Amino acid sequence: MLRLGGFVIHKGRVPRARQEEIVGALRDVAAAAPFFSPLTPWGKPMRVRMTSAGRYGWFSDRRGYRYIDRHPAGLPWPPIPDPVLDEWRALVSAERLPDCCLVNFYGEGARMGLHRDADEADFSWPVLSISLGDPATFRIGGRERADPTTSVQLESGDVVVMGGEARLAYHGVDRIRFGRSPLLPEGGRINLTLRVVD
Ligand code: SIN
Ligand code: FE2
């Protein structure tokens, strides 16, 4: 376990067989709620493709960032897969389960700019992140955008808990090393973030 400015990084937390089980479950999630490219509030499509599972899904368009209770095509969000919830139960809480599992897919060249996860009602709950597939350079900052940053490599099976002083800290993904992991035969990286929304 590694601690970086309140970010708790569990390297190699999810065993390979479990990663495969999760990827299988995510194929069902994506069949029920297809990936889409949200627009930034500035009207540009994001490079990262997204979908969600749970009571809410995360969404963005010209009106801004928010949670919505249906997929933009009007479909209900599918339930969060159990092997994903197991990580939350083990590392966060067995009583209060997350309302949203945001599924981010990074294809070749995709990155995510520095941002904070601040669209939830209660910041006392951490955000839990699971990385699957190709390695990524994850950038970690502080509460202010101008705070100094460091970076850490996130690999398939790594889990990050962003709570306490890290809950509202800036973070982003500089780059992924496309095709390096054998987990997703077509290449790419999946990141799951579990959030308590309301
Ligand atoms: C996110 O901040 O929503 C994603 C983080 C990651 O891809 O590791
Ligand atoms: Fe985030």
- The span from the CA of 68 to the CA of 54, in Å, is 11
141 inside domain: yes
- Domain assignment of residue 198, yes or no: no
Domain assignment of residue 196, yes or no: no
Instruction: Give residue 47 CA to ligand 1 midpoint distance, Å.
Output: 13
Residue 19, ligand 1, Cβ within 6 A: no
Q: Which residue segment(s) compose the domain that 101 sits in?
A: 2-191
In a domain, 83, yes or no: yes
- Of all atoms in ligand 1, which is nearest to the CA of residue 193? 3
Give 19-58 as a DSSP string: HHHHHHHHHHHHHHS--B-PBPTTSPBPSSEEEEEES-EE
C-alpha 171 to ligand 2 mean position (Å)? 6
Cα–ligand 2 centroid distance for 116 (angstroms) = 6
Count structural domains, the chain: 1
pLDDT values of the chain reduced to their tens digit, one per residue, 198 residues:
999 989 999 999 999 999 999 999 999 999 999 999 999 999 999 999 999 999 999 999 999 999 999 999 999 999 999 999 999 999 999 999 999 999 999 999 999 999 999 999 999 999 999 999 999 999 999 999 999 999 999 999 999 999 999 999 999 999 999 999 999 999 999 999 999 999
Q: Is the CB of 191 under 6 A from ligand 1?
A: yes
Domain membership of residue 147 (yes or no) is yes
Tell me what pLDDT residue 149 has.
97
**Helix, strand, coil percentages for the chain (3-state, nearest 5):** 15, 35, 50
Which of 65, 111, 167, 193 maximizes ligand 1 atoms within 8 Å of its Cβ, making it the mutation to test the pocket? 193
List the CATH number of the domain containing 159: 2.60.120.590
Q: How many Å apart are CA 141 and CA 118, to the nearest integer?
A: 15
Residue 25's pLDDT is what? 98
Give residue 55's pLDDT. Answer: 98
